[in-house]
Amino acid sequence: MSDNNPFGGAFGSNGGQYATTVQFGGTEPGKPPAAAPADVIKDTTTATFAADVIQESRRQPVLVDF
């Protein structure tokens, strides 16, 4: 092997090699995720379905489980 490597040291030694950290998601490392609001899960009836589901779906995504 040759020591004539213009890009840094040996593989894995991080001798001049580029290193980075990639994070996905909105939370910072070491911070627990925020708790969901208490009103996220609702029990609804046919009488209040329009207000609880249809109207609310105009503001945010709604998942219905029958």
Q: What proportion of the chain, given as a percentage, has pLDDT over 70?
A: 56
Tell me how far apart the alpha carbons of residues 23 and 63 are, in angstroms, rounded to a whole number. Answer: 28
Tell me how far apart the alpha carbons of residues 25 and 22 are, in angstroms, rounded to a whole number. Answer: 10
Tell me how far apart the alpha carbons of residues 56 and 19 are, in angstroms, rounded to a whole number. Answer: 45
On whether residue 45 sits in a domain, the answer given is yes
The domain in which residue 65 lies consists of: 40-66
Tell me how far apart the alpha carbons of residues 56 and 30 are, in angstroms, rounded to a whole number. Answer: 33
Band of residue 23 on the pLDDT scale cut at 50, 70, 90: confident
On whether residue 58 sits in a domain, the answer given is yes
On whether residue 46 sits in a domain, the answer given is yes
Tell me how far apart the alpha carbons of residues 23 and 19 are, in angstroms, rounded to a whole number. Answer: 14
Tell me phi and psi for residue 55, to 5 degrees: -65, -40
pTM over 0.85: no
What domain count does the chain have? 1
